Amino acid sequence: MDIKEIRTMIRQSIRDQVKNLVKERLKPPTTFEKFNFIVNESIEGIADRPSFEDIYCMWKNISLETLDIGVDRDIISEWNSSLRYYVDNLEVSSRTKEKIFNSLKR
């Protein structure tokens, strides 16, 4: 194997990884860990933060509402509308709510 073949393999691997990450980003998070990571990443450096319990309740309720929906397009639609409802009910500033919503919407 020469250097050109190795470079080609590395570039293809990077393209595949980016493609998979984009696909994953278009779908709602599948676990609480991913959900919590996205929330915490979106409000990093902000003092006005929801409690862990509020974040978990939001995840639990949204997950239950989207549980039995089969079509990806319908799941995303329900996810976004449920997300808006539960984010609006958080007791944090509107700036924090918008950051959380924008990071989680699909």
Which residue blocks in the chain are alpha helix, DSSP H? Answer: 3-26, 32-42, 52-66, 72-88, 94-104
pLDDT tens digit sequence for 55-79:
999 999 999 999 888 777 789 999 9
What are the backbone angles phi and psi of residue 37, rounded to the nearest 5°?
-60, -45
Residue-level pLDDT at 26: 85
Residue-level pLDDT at 17: 96
Percentage of the chain exceeding pLDDT 90: 83
- Check residue 93 and give left, alpha or beta (phi > 0: left; psi -120 to 50: alpha): beta
